Amino acid sequence: MIKVYGIKTCNSVRNALKFFKDNNIEVEFSDIRKEAPLAESITTWVEKAGIDIAFNSKGTKYRTLQLKELNLDDKGKLEWLIKEPMLLKRPVIEYNDDVMIGFNEEIYKETFL
């Protein structure tokens, strides 16, 4: 089962969910606003995808928290991801014991079709 983590108001998440629906691929959706991912899940995602892929330094939450001023190292970024899951780039897709972060239709086609 493919699991999609994100928020429904995010365009990338909406595009991913539409892709799966249009291609009749069943997924389970988890809203990270309503239920924060476990710290061990976030750590695993970062290990598999890389901190620079997982950590959203362009989003509203990053600016609101003024994290740029902290000049975070990778460990600091991971700690913030665990404290504030809204700092995750979205969507996070778990599949076949792997993880993909973000939406890229061509990569989705290669991976899921």
Domain boundaries, the chain: 2-112
The single residue of 5, 6, 7, 10 carrying the catalytic annotation is 10
For domain 2-112, say whether CATH 3.40.30.10 is its number.
yes
d(CA 41, CA 63): 24
Number of residues that this document lists for the chain: 113
Which residue in this structure is represented by tokens 């003024």? 66
Kindly report the pTM of this predicted structure.
0.94
104 is catalytic: no
Q: Supply the pLDDT for residue 75.
A: 97
pLDDT tens for 24-75 read 999 999 999 999 999 999 999 999 999 999 999 999 999 999 999 999 999 9
Q: For residue 33, how far is the Cα from the chain centroid?
A: 12
Helix (DSSP H) and strand (DSSP E) numbers for the chain = 6, 4
User: Using CA of residue 64, residue 12, residue 86, residue 71, what is the dihedral sign?
Assistant: negative
